[in-house]
Amino acid sequence: MKPRTFGYLLKEGFKNIGRNKVMTTAAVFSIIASLFIFGVVLLIVFNVQNTADTLDSQVEIIVYLKDEISEAEVRKIGKQLEAMNGVDEVSYQSKADALRAMKEQLGDSGEILEGYTEETNPLPRSFSIKIHNPEWVRAVASNIEDKPWVETIKYNKEVVDTIERVTSAMRNGGVVLVIILAVVTIFVVSNTIKLAVISRRREISIMKYVGASDWFIRWPFVLEGAILGIIGAFIATLAIMFFYDSLLSKAGGFAFFVTLVPIEQVFKPIILSFLAIGIVVGILGSVISIRKYLKV
Amino acid sequence: MKPRTFGYLLKEGFKNIGRNKVMTTAAVFSIIASLFIFGVVLLIVFNVQNTADTLDSQVEIIVYLKDEISEAEVRKIGKQLEAMNGVDEVSYQSKADALRAMKEQLGDSGEILEGYTEETNPLPRSFSIKIHNPEWVRAVASNIEDKPWVETIKYNKEVVDTIERVTSAMRNGGVVLVIILAVVTIFVVSNTIKLAVISRRREISIMKYVGASDWFIRWPFVLEGAILGIIGAFIATLAIMFFYDSLLSKAGGFAFFVTLVPIEQVFKPIILSFLAIGIVVGILGSVISIRKYLKV
Amino acid sequence: MIEFINLTKTYPNGLTALSNINLKIEKGEFVFIVGASGAGKSTLIKLILREIVPTSGTILVKGKNLAKMKRREIPLLRRNIGVVFQDFRLLNERTVYENVAFAMEVVEASRKEIRRQVPMVLSLVGLSSKAKMLPSQLSGGEQQRVALARAIVNNPSILIADEPTGNLDPDTAWEIIGLLNEINCRGTTVIMATHARDIVNSLRKRVVTFDRGVIVNDRQRGEYPDEA
Amino acid sequence: MIEFINLTKTYPNGLTALSNINLKIEKGEFVFIVGASGAGKSTLIKLILREIVPTSGTILVKGKNLAKMKRREIPLLRRNIGVVFQDFRLLNERTVYENVAFAMEVVEASRKEIRRQVPMVLSLVGLSSKAKMLPSQLSGGEQQRVALARAIVNNPSILIADEPTGNLDPDTAWEIIGLLNEINCRGTTVIMATHARDIVNSLRKRVVTFDRGVIVNDRQRGEYPDEA
Ligand SMILES: Nc1ncnc2c1ncn2[C@@H]1O[C@H](COP(=O)(O)OP(=O)(O)OP(=O)(O)O)[C@@H](O)[C@H]1O
Ligand SMILES: Nc1ncnc2c1ncn2[C@@H]1O[C@H](COP(=O)(O)OP(=O)(O)OP(=O)(O)O)[C@@H](O)[C@H]1O
Ligand SMILES: [Mg+2]
Ligand SMILES: [Mg+2]
């Protein structure tokens, strides 16, 4: 292909856009609409993911120590725990800390504990262990359980189980939903382009009769598709960012137990995926739709 | 219009569907895709709404009573509280109940409370008041606060505030999202139909030249649109129900803090709204799209 | 039947296709409209069908002023006029039979009438064997005859034919002209735009000659003008 | 140049449009294809363009067997053949100028050539003043002339015209024929399907007559057959 011909085909692509205003508008709006919906789901998935991560980091095991253990040994045990596989963070609670914490927990009823001093209270010393990943909780717990210095060990099995199950379900569900939506988006948009092509089937067949090669006919459509995809992607990004921004400012950064992901963090993945989908869909939609009509 | 003519036009509507298989498939799939996405958002809104309702019903005020109040008076106070505006349910906690509850709350550390008997413990008697609507919590609380029998009154101001703010934001956000999506769905589908009509503009103009009235031309398209809408709505309902059912069985009825709405409860609103949107979109899409081409 | 009074048609792009036309066609007449390519013949026909509106002047069809006609009256006008368009204008997705039957469905004819009338008209134009074909499966001349069948199926009071023999061999063309003549004898007004010199000259009907938008000649028992 | 050997074309619906055709057209010939409506003239042309493939038999164009031609060779074949289609086949959304220029863009002509050639061809067919109009703004005859301009703009070695004067008044028709004759004199093979008896009779070129799918007559310096 001569460069001059490519220039011509590019110009044709732009001309098509101008010539078929209704169709162009329809196709661009379809792309925007589909991408917008896709974006909403993407935002939901991001936020679920973020929340799951936050919750994960809150899973902890509490190890209550036997009263007869010496302070030196306690320090050694702390080191030991920190070195364990899957352990994120270890924090120590002395008898005094424990009493203070309980008083706080009881609030107004805290007076009930007045009789105890910081040293003589019956509450045990303990380590809280933050676990990197909820799936490792059980392993870490069973590893500690049998140690001689352990009085008792506590972790919310149910919560761990639930979080484990729910986050993985959510993650899978989110991925499945995003895939379904990506396919649906591609489908809707390529349908739109297909209809646009159908309404120009006469034009395509005439080009064939005049002796145009398949690629000569295809190029302007492909370029047109790509241009529409890019335009749609940019507008959709603007729209979804505007939407999310107003949501953030309303919800004040959090909603229920969900910590909302800040807008800077979602911008890049959204505009990139939008552009990718827009362009791919635009081009594929055109190429696939034309194929049938090239066989003249 | 003669009944025989209506029969003819209906038959034409069905024939069009058979004749333009590509277009029909495209339009039906667009409807299904849009409705499916709409359905996903609808399900999210339903579940958020359901969770908000559940949380609302958990907002409560605890009133601790002065120790000097007699049992008889306590009973009278209970009646008084129950009669208050906005109060849903009142439950009484005796000294013995309070001790038991605290022991339970402390778990293994409960031995710290061994010294107290059920009657002599320093914990006060209390009423828990469930409030119908979080917005009334403050009113009820300020109403009780100054009563002479009140030792102290407790309610989680922050939680109440948050729930209040978040649920109303969620509700508004949900409504806005559903509206946006309904519009987007209508838009995408009517675009699809519009393109289908554009590709038949020649047919429409020829009908005009032969002397067909506007309605004679419009009816088959309108009926075709309605039929496509109905088909799309049914398939989309099936798809979304299948999707939600598999989600429910995976999540086991709850996810995070959200109690999932059972499938029976969402079926009716979904199929009804799908049918309504499908039919309206099908008909409107056709009528609007044709309008321009009738002016010959 | 049809009357043009001081009629001028200028297209939006500034081209004046007809200027100051005065023409009266009586009920039952057979009129040839002749003239060079681009003289304004099709424009005249489009005006009668109210496909376009005049820039100035009046057209009366059956006593009605088309310029003042309401949108919803147009279908009724067109049902009284059978037309063979220069570009045929057949419905591509319908068979020959359906194309002809469609014109009858539009006027809400009964099923019985349709079943009787359509095959009759198709055999009249010699297309009985092609009833189930789509327009794309027909030769050019066959398509033209389908258009004619559609135009006459409702026994219109006016029949307009724009170049109805342009794609026909002389034999078939003469058959078609015989048909038009017969329809005319039954009382239908026939207006035919044509370039077929032979036909015009041997029929000796009224001939209206256009040249660049004006009528240069209008005579009964006329001939195809020799401008060459 | 073009050769048909024992060629039969039966359409999918069972209709045999051409049966056992043997025909050889030499380089530089001017051939009229005549015959009644539906005789198979357009089918013959569609076969040369490889719009359709023969059911049996062989077509050779410039020594190439079209039945065995690969899909991607078809555009190259068509660029060598200029065609005026019976239904014009103009691009509705492009102006007259663009329609003609398009045929040159396809062969990757330079901008300079296009700027020189297109206006020249348009003036040749008498449409210089309509260059910026869309096909829908033209009369039937004008559209036909655009189709002709497009067909000859690339100086093809074969020019095929299906009824190129069907919508033209005799004067314009003669001008077009003069044009085709001139192109033929410059060495281009011209094949013209037509019903115009006058033209065939006065040009005295080779005439191939079809009747219901078979060649009934093929003579040099022939006349339009009198089947009536
Ligand atoms: N929609 C339009 N816009 C602008 N100009 C037009 C339009 N339609 C027709 N014309 C011009 O008006 C003139 C008359 O056109 P018309 O179709 O009436 O010619 P005609 O007599 O039917 O010719 P032919 O014999 O070639 O069919 C032509 O020059 C044509 O270019
Ligand atoms: N795609 C098709 N499918 C079936 N039959 C067809 C198809 N195309 C043409 N025919 C039939 O083949 C026969 C020859 O058609 P063709 O178009 O070659 O005729 P023609 O000689 O060009 O006639 P005309 O002078 O009317 O244009 C006709 O009877 C026509 O109905
Ligand atoms: Mg005309
Ligand atoms: Mg033909």
With an 8 Å Cβ cutoff, are C170 and D224 in contact? yes
**3-state secondary structure labels for all residues of C154-221:** CCCCEEEEECCCCCCCHHHHHHHHHHHHHHHHCCCEEEEECCCHHHHHHHCCEEEEEECCEEEEEECC
Say what the pLDDT of residue D112 is: 93
Angle CA D161–D165–D169, to nearest 5: 165
Q: Does residue A243 register a pLDDT over 50?
A: yes
Which residue, chain included where needed, has tokens 């007809």? Answer: C18
Separation between Cα atoms, residue A138 and residue A156, nearest integer Å: 10
Separation between Cα atoms, residue A128 and residue A146, nearest integer Å: 17
Contact B224, B28 (CB under 8 A): no
Confidence band for D228, pLDDT divided at 50, 70 and 90: very low
Q: Does residue A257 register a pLDDT over 60?
A: no
Average confidence (pLDDT) over D61-81: 91
pLDDT digit string (tens) for B77-125? 888 888 888 788 888 888 888 888 777 766 666 666 667 777 777 778 8
- Cα separations in angstroms, C194 against A278, C93, C173, C179, D98: 53, 29, 12, 16, 29
Which residue, chain included where needed, has tokens 């991560």? Answer: A53
**% of chain D residues with pLDDT over 70:** 99
Say what the pLDDT of residue A188 is: 65
- Cα separations in angstroms, C207 against A132, A224, B208, C7: 99, 52, 30, 19
Say what the pLDDT of residue A252 is: 57
* Average model confidence (pLDDT) across chain C: 92
Say what the pLDDT of residue C138 is: 92
Q: Does residue D189 register a pLDDT over 70?
A: yes
With an 8 Å Cβ cutoff, are C169 and D11 in contact? no
The ipTM of this complex is 0.74
Locate the ligand 2 atom nearest the alpha carbon of residue C138 and give its number: 31
- Residues with Cβ < 8 Å from A10, sequence gap 6 or more? A219, A220, A223
End-to-end CA distance of chain B: 22
Say what the pLDDT of residue A55 is: 64
Confidence band for D123, pLDDT divided at 50, 70 and 90: very high
pLDDT digit string (tens) for C160-209? 999 898 888 888 899 889 989 999 998 999 999 999 998 999 999 999 99
Closest of A9, A7, A25, A8 to residue A17, by C-alpha:
A25
Say what the pLDDT of residue C228 is: 44
Give the ligand at the shortest distance from the Cα of D35.
2
Q: Does residue C156 register a pLDDT over 90?
A: yes
Separation between Cα atoms, residue A224 and residue A204, nearest integer Å: 15
Best residue among C13, C18, C43 to mutate for probing ligand 1, ranked by most atoms within 8 Å of CB? C43
Which residue, chain included where needed, has tokens 């109060």? Answer: B87
* Average model confidence (pLDDT) across chain A: 77
Beta bridge partners of D65: D60
With an 8 Å Cβ cutoff, are A109 and B115 in contact? no
CA of D139 to the centre of ligand 1 (A): 4
Confidence band for A56, pLDDT divided at 50, 70 and 90: low
Instruction: Sort strands C206-211 and C30-35 into parallel, antiparallel or unpaired.
Output: parallel
Question: Domains along chain B?
Answer: 3-55+161-293 (no CATH), 60-155 (3.30.70.3040)
- Work out the burial of residue A50: count CB atoms within 10 Å of its CB; fewer than 13 is exposed, 13-18 middle, 19 or more buried: middle
**% of chain A residues with pLDDT over 90:** 3
Of A8, A19, A296, the CB nearest to D51: A296
Q: Does residue C12 register a pLDDT over 90?
A: yes
Tokens in use for A156? 């919310």
* Average model confidence (pLDDT) across chain B: 77
Contact A19, D93 (CB under 8 A): yes
Q: Does D90 touch chain A (CB under 8 A)?
A: yes
- Cα separations in angstroms, A221 against A65, A185, B188, D90: 73, 19, 21, 19
Per mean pLDDT, which range of A128-137, A160-169, A228-237, C189-198 is the poorest? A160-169
Say what the pLDDT of residue B167 is: 63
Which residue, chain included where needed, has tokens 């035919």? Answer: C192
With an 8 Å Cβ cutoff, are C108 and B210 in contact? no
Q: Is the CB of C39 under 6 A from ligand 1?
A: yes
Number of A/D CB contacts below 8 angstroms equals 53
Say what the pLDDT of residue A75 is: 86
Say what the pLDDT of residue C113 is: 93
**Of the spans A8-17, A97-106, B280-289, D80-89, which averages the highest pLDDT?**
D80-89
Per mean pLDDT, which range of A289-293, B61-65, D72-76 is the poorest? A289-293
Average confidence (pLDDT) over C19-23: 95
Contact D88, D166 (CB under 8 A): no
Which is more confident, D189 or D171? D189
Confidence band for B288, pLDDT divided at 50, 70 and 90: confident
Element (H, E) at A259: strand A258-259
Say what the pLDDT of residue A225 is: 83
Interface of D with A in 105-124 (CB under 8 A): 105-108, 110-111
Average confidence (pLDDT) over B45-67: 74
Separation between Cα atoms, residue B52 and residue D15, nearest integer Å: 72
Element (H, E) at A34: helix A21-56
How close, in Å, is residue D185 to chain A by CA atoms?
24
Residue with CA closest to ligand 2 atom 18: D40
pLDDT digit string (tens) for D139-175? 888 999 999 999 999 999 999 999 898 888 888 899 8
Q: Does residue A140 register a pLDDT over 70?
A: yes
Q: Does residue C46 register a pLDDT over 70?
A: yes
Contact B144, B153 (CB under 8 A): yes
Query: How many CA atoms, within 13 angstroms, populate the side-chain half-sphere of residue C194?
Result: 29
Ligand 2 pocket, CB under 6 A: C 130, 136-142, 167; D 11, 13, 15, 17, 35, 37-43, 86
Which is more confident, A146 or A27? A146
Q: Does A296 touch chain D (CB under 8 A)?
A: yes
Q: How far is CA B222 from the centre of its chain?
A: 31
Residues in chain D: 228
Separation between Cα atoms, residue B36 and residue C135, nearest integer Å: 40
Say what the pLDDT of residue B158 is: 59
DSSP state of D204: -
Locate the ligand 1 atom nearest the alpha carbon of residue D130 and give its number: 31
pLDDT digit string (tens) for A124-133? 888 888 877 7
Say what the pLDDT of residue B31 is: 76
Q: How many H-runs (helices) and E-runs (strands) does chain B carry?
A: 9, 6
With an 8 Å Cβ cutoff, are C90 and B206 in contact? yes
CA-only gyration radius of chain D, Å: 17
Interface of B with A in 49-68 (CB under 8 A): 51, 64
Q: Does residue D90 register a pLDDT over 70?
A: yes
Judging contacts by C-beta atoms under 8 Å, the chain B residues touching residue A29 are 187-188, 191
Give the other-Cβ count within 10 Å of B190's Cβ: 24
Average confidence (pLDDT) over D183-188: 92
Element (H, E) at D33: strand D30-35
- Please tell me the pTM assigned to this model: 0.75
